[in-house]
């Protein structure tokens, strides 16, 4: 298929592009390189440097390439930043995304696979989280993603487009070529591995007094290759609707740090500090709907396998892409 990937120079977009190309699809990447990296653009893809907030640019791109489908990754994705600068999130993640949806209608593009998030659920009542859980985001980031889900659902009803919402849990790991390089970095695994690389004195543990077995927060860490594979299932299957993408297993912050110590052989000092505001104690996906409808299950759910892949990438890119 002929696929337009927005945000294809970013972390999840670059790996999904790699898998799409490996599977024989044609890919055009549309990315403003604001947070993505030119080095993460797969050389086999066509690259358009453009911003979704530039309505003419995205209309022209879709008009010219007439894709069979869009995969939409381009967005801001930091919870803390969204609490300080909500406007940025509504502008980029909602207004920019609306331009994309309108350009799809104008070009007759039928399908969109959208990067959504478990942050749309807020503090869930029930764990593991199913797609039926109420969506009550606790921050502008989650709200901006939910707003675009709702807009796309109306466009489905009115214009007949086919949206698939993939609600990611904690994306992590790397392929041999592409990995995680955020600025600023806020995610647990890359920050722990920076300590192992000698780039920081200790990892800060944000609270050890949660209602969990070891007191630290539990998350569902999902390998980036598994996430990318789910996008290809969503693209190739005739489906619409929402799917939680996780392994169904949770790991605490202490368990992740222990796995990193085993794999790196570094003692990785850790210090417990105050809780980070807004962190739910436990977020674990129910992957059952994705299994039954998409035919997808995480194949690399072992946290050691995930950390090993990230560690390889960070050792080869100790300063990220701009080494």
Task: Point out which residues bind ligand UFG (CB under 6 A).
Answer: 77, 79, 117-119, 141, 170, 186-188, 191, 203-206, 217, 219, 253, 276, 279, 283
Min CB(124)–ligand UFG separation in Å:
10
Which lies closer to ligand UFG via its Cβ, residue 67 or residue 96?
96
Q: Are the C-beta atoms of 51 and 79 separated by less than 8 Å? A: no
Catalytic residues: 141
Shortest Cβ 151–ligand UFG spacing (Å): 19
CB 12 within 8 A of CB 171: yes
Minimum gap (Å) between residue 52 Cβ and ligand UFG: 19
- How far is Cα 252 from Cα 308, in angstroms, rounded to an integer? 17
Q: 287 near 248, Cβ under 8 Å?
A: yes
Say if CB 307 and CB 189 are below 8 A apart: yes
Q: Give me the least distance between CB of 23 and ligand UFG, in Å please.
A: 26
Q: Give the residue with the Cβ less far from ligand UFG, 234 or 283.
A: 283
H-type alpha helices, the chain: 11-22, 55-65, 79-84, 86-90, 97-107, 140-159, 188-196, 224-236, 253-264, 288-289, 303-316
Q: Which residues contact 285 (CB under 8 A, 6 or more apart)?
A: 118, 128, 129, 167, 169, 220, 222, 244, 245, 246, 247, 248
The CB-nearest residue to ligand UFG is 217
45/97 with CB nearer ligand UFG: 97
- CB closer to ligand UFG, 68 vs 185: 185
Name the β-bridge partners of 6: 30, 72
CB closer to ligand UFG out of 283 and 294:
283
Tokens 């990230």 locate to 310
Query: Nearest approach, Cβ of 7 to ligand UFG (angstroms)?
Result: 13
CA distances from 194 to 130, 152, 154, 168, 317 (A): 34, 39, 43, 24, 11
Residue closer to ligand UFG (CB basis): 79 or 303: 79
Q: CB of residue 322 vs ligand UFG: minimum separation in angstroms? A: 22
Residue 146, sorted as left (phi over 0), alpha (psi -120 to 50) or beta, turns out to be: alpha
Could you tell me the two tokens for 268?
């990785």
């Amino acid at each position: 298929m002929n696929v337009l990937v927005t945000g294809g120079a970013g972390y999840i977009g670059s790996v999904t592009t790699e898998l799409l190309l490996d599977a024989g699809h044609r890919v055009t990447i549309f990315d403003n390189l604001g947070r993505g990296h030119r080095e993460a653009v797969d050389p086999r893809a066509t690259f358009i440097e453009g911003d979704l907030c530039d309505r003419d640019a995205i209309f022209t791109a879709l008009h010219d390439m007439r894709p069979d489908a869009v995969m939409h990754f381009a967005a801001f994705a930091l919870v803390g930043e969204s609490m300080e600068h909500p406007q940025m999130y509504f502008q980029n993640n909602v207004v920019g995304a609306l331009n994309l949806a309108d350009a799809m209608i104008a070009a007759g593009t039928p399908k969109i696979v959208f990067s959504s998030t478990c942050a749309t659920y807020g503090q869930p009542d029930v764990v593991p989280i199913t797609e039926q859980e109420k969506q009550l985001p606790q921050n502008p980031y989650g709200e901006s993603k939910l707003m675009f889900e709702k807009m796309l659902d109306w466009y489905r009803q009115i214009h007949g487009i086919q949206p698939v919402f993939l609600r990611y849990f904690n994306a992590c790991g790397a392929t041999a070529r592409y990995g995680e390089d955020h600025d600023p970095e806020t995610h647990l695994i890359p920050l722990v591995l920076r300590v192992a690389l000698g780039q920081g004195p200790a990892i800060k543990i944000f609270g050890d007094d949660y209602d969990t077995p070891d007191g630290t927060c539990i998350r569902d860490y999902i390998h980036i290759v598994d996430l990318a594979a789910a996008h290809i299932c969503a693209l190739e299957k005739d489906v619409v609707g929402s799917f939680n993408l996780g392994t169904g297993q949770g790991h605490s912050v202490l368990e992740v740090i222990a796995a990193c110590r085993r794999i790196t052989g570094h003692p990785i000092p850790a210090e417990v500090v105050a809780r980070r505001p807004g962190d739910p104690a436990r977020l674990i996906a129910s992957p059952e709907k994705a299994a039954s409808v998409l035919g997808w299950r995480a194949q690399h759910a072992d946290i050691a396998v995930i950390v090993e892949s990230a560690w390889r990438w960070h050792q080869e890119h100790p300063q990220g892409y701009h080494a």
